[in-house]
Structure 1
């Protein structure tokens, strides 16, 4: 081991995750290499394997962190207003802003493998969408949803937003049309689909 590449790196796990998130954001998950990350961070090529035995373990951990970040944004959006109808717009805007600005990360988050880390990714995804579900349960408690199932409405809402983000991210829908489409989508959800 050469003196310019020491094994110890403070919080190596977080340093590897941070650098991996940067690579995913800028170049996509397919470009992620543990060896390259180690070189960038300045540790031996074996050092990251202490926390991430394989590439998929690292990708799963990046996806888990991505869902945690998304969940925090959705929670902030719900908490920004006690008004149910304003919450719907706020959540939709927060979701689209995240999924469009973090397109490569979102692709990884929704395309994870069901390996050893699959359970952690699934649990983090469920936790991320809890604020959205709580918003629709709140709407139901206020009598805004009638007999509609808040979980089903939440799933349709999520699918609608994910579809809009996907269309923008792949270039089918110009970003300039997003606000009008968002208005149309949000208008369908205060009282159920």
Structure 2
């Protein structure tokens, strides 16, 4: 039985989301059912349908909340780190910590039936990654990323982090090597014009 916060009157929707998130985290999406969630929080099996008519509605809501949590982590990482290079490193650490500790949730966020194509899920995903995009936009404005598209840079950065997280989650890469991978990832995103020049010279050899 999943451990969730007790249900209190007026907080049914959040109680359902908390219980569903616990099931996803501990056992995966395939084990999630509205009936089990209702039993976990001690309400009738029909009660959650007041807010989530079907299982997919609940999955969408869990994904939306997951992106909200991720976005908060990324904003906190940026706000706590002065300077572009420290922000890139901090964001990489925050993302990988989230994606490896919440592997089932992240899989749901990116790959459930509607995915990021669902309106609510898509909007929450865009909001979650906006701090990362703003970081690269500032880098371009400050001359750290000259002649680079911030959106494309952000997408490559995200793809790199998600790939690393996937390798950790499936056991190919030991979690103890995350620091090394973070350092290697940060090195791919210049911390100044001189770094970009160095990369170009290396590429021309």
Same fold per superposition (TM over 0.5): yes
Which 4+ stretches in 1 moved above 4 angstroms? none
Residue 4 (structure 2) aligns with: none
Residue 153 (structure 2) aligns with: 153
CA–CA separation in structure 2 for the residues paired with 1:68 and 1:166: 21
Residue 136 (structure 1) aligns with: 136
- Please provide the CA RMSD for this pair: 1.6
CA–CA separation in structure 2 for the residues paired with 1:109 and 1:89: 23
Structure 1 residue runs without a partner (length 5+): 1-7
Question: How far apart are 1:10 and its partner, in Å?
Answer: 2.7
Deviates more, 1:153-162 or 1:176-185: 176-185
CA–CA separation in structure 2 for the residues paired with 1:158 and 1:68: 16
Q: Say whether residues 1:111 and 2:111 are aligned partners.
A: yes
Question: How far apart are 1:118 and its partner, in Å?
Answer: 1.2
Residue 39 (structure 1) aligns with: 39
SS at match of 1:93: helix
Question: How far apart are 1:175 and its partner, in Å?
Answer: 1.1
CA–CA separation in structure 1 for the residues paired with 2:185 and 2:134: 19
SS at match of 1:30: helix
Q: Say whether residues 1:25 and 2:54 are aligned partners.
A: no
Deviates more, 1:175-184 or 1:155-164: 175-184
Q: Say whether residues 1:121 and 2:118 are aligned partners.
A: no
Question: How far apart are 1:190 and its partner, in Å?
Answer: 2.4
TM-score using structure 1 length: 0.92
Which is bigger in relative contact order (C-alpha 8 A, separation at least 6)?
Answer: 1
TM-score using structure 2 length: 0.87
CA contact (8 A) 1:88 1:190 kept: no
CA–CA separation in structure 2 for the residues paired with 1:106 and 1:133: 19
Deviates more, 1:45-54 or 1:174-183: 174-183
Q: How many residues align?
A: 185
